[in-house]
Structure 1
Amino acid sequence: MKHWRNPTLLAAALTLLAGCTTNPYTGEREAGKAGIYGGVGAVTGAVIGAATSSKKDRAKGALIGAAVGGAAGGGYGYYVDTQEAKLRQTLQGTGVQVQRNGDELKLIMPGNITFASNSADVSSGFYPTLNSLVLVFKEFDKNGIDIVGHTDSTGSLALNQDLSNRRAQSVAAYLSGNGVAPARISAYGAGPNQPIASNANEAGRAQNRRVEINLRPL
């Protein structure tokens, strides 16, 4: 631990860890996203910089590593911040939920607004929402797009598995058919195997009938 006694190095790392950014869409100060990404990157970069430098240049190497690592980490965190804000703005009032977990974003599209009952054909009323997503996905093109279909437990497992897969494939086909790079997209059905609510009542089953789009770093 003696390599971390340099007060300048500690100050730089702690400053980056405590850093806050302003979301350009919401105007809020956010310390828990890009600031954390930058801080983690800074500490990682500092460790690598110190380890790869000669003894006399170890502090200097750590500071350079902290700066480079902080910029890289904070850059992706800020990218996700802006993408999340754009999605929330674009999808407001559509019924599609936006959830964030670390550096991954999830869009939850309820089955009642995406597909007719027992159908894998996208509802015509949902096309405007998908068109908006196409524009966002083209603007923010550093994400993989994992599309997962889900059903409730009513009916046979084989039927639900097939329906969920065809629904996921329908959304994927629409996105790729409108200019989103197919290499970014994967699609599969989970059937009734990943419920988010109880299948014992209609309200829960309605929540389980959904399509999710998971956005992850490429």
Structure 2
Amino acid sequence: MKQSAKITIAAILVIGVFSISILTVPAFAEWDKFNYPQIQGTVPVSSGDDFEQKNGIALSVAMAVGENSVSDGKAMYAKLADVNGFLVHKVILITEDHGYYKVLVDAGNGEALYVSDMIKKDYSHKKHSDKKHSDKMKNYFKGMSDEQIAEKKHQFKEMGEAYKSLSIQDRASLIVHFMQAKLQWDTMSDDEKAQKRADMKQMFKEYLPLTLEEKKQKLHEYIQSLN
């Protein structure tokens, strides 16, 4: 498989997998809008620093620390970030009932520096960001019958289940590869991006109807191809 094709598939799989999380909780929309308390880490950083060079623990380790810090969360995503001048891994953990936790893991010694309470949105008071998210979903489902919408949501849910069935190491590998794909995306021309979007839309359309077991197998096979 050519590298460009592998990157395209990576983006499709990860975007698809995260879609179910975005449909159920606003954790990703609020990723950088969360007010963290003052923390004291072991790796000081400043603007312009190379985070990867200063990082001392693997992404999979940070995700495992996140899962060990709560009783009912699955690490769905993590990334390096500067919080209060210290390098940390921000880890998002999703619960079975659509709540989520945010955990900050020290990028030097792997210590959990902060664990949020379990967060659940109160949709009785929608904020502007929630309305934008709702409008996007309405646009996505526009023209579908109630049965078609229910089936599409079920397919998204299965993609999330397939992703959650992976080991932490495999989830981390997919996230890292997706981040690398995003870097390449940022260097593309508008025409190249438009073509990639069309390709991803088509491949995503073909991937969604697969059974849960087929989705799991596709993810497993793809991650094995990265090794």
TM over 0.5: no
Give the number of the structure whose alpha-carbon radius of gyration is greater.
Answer: 1
Instruction: Tell me the TM-score normalised to structure 1 length.
Output: 0.23
Q: Which has the higher contact order (CA 8 A, sep 6+)?
A: 2
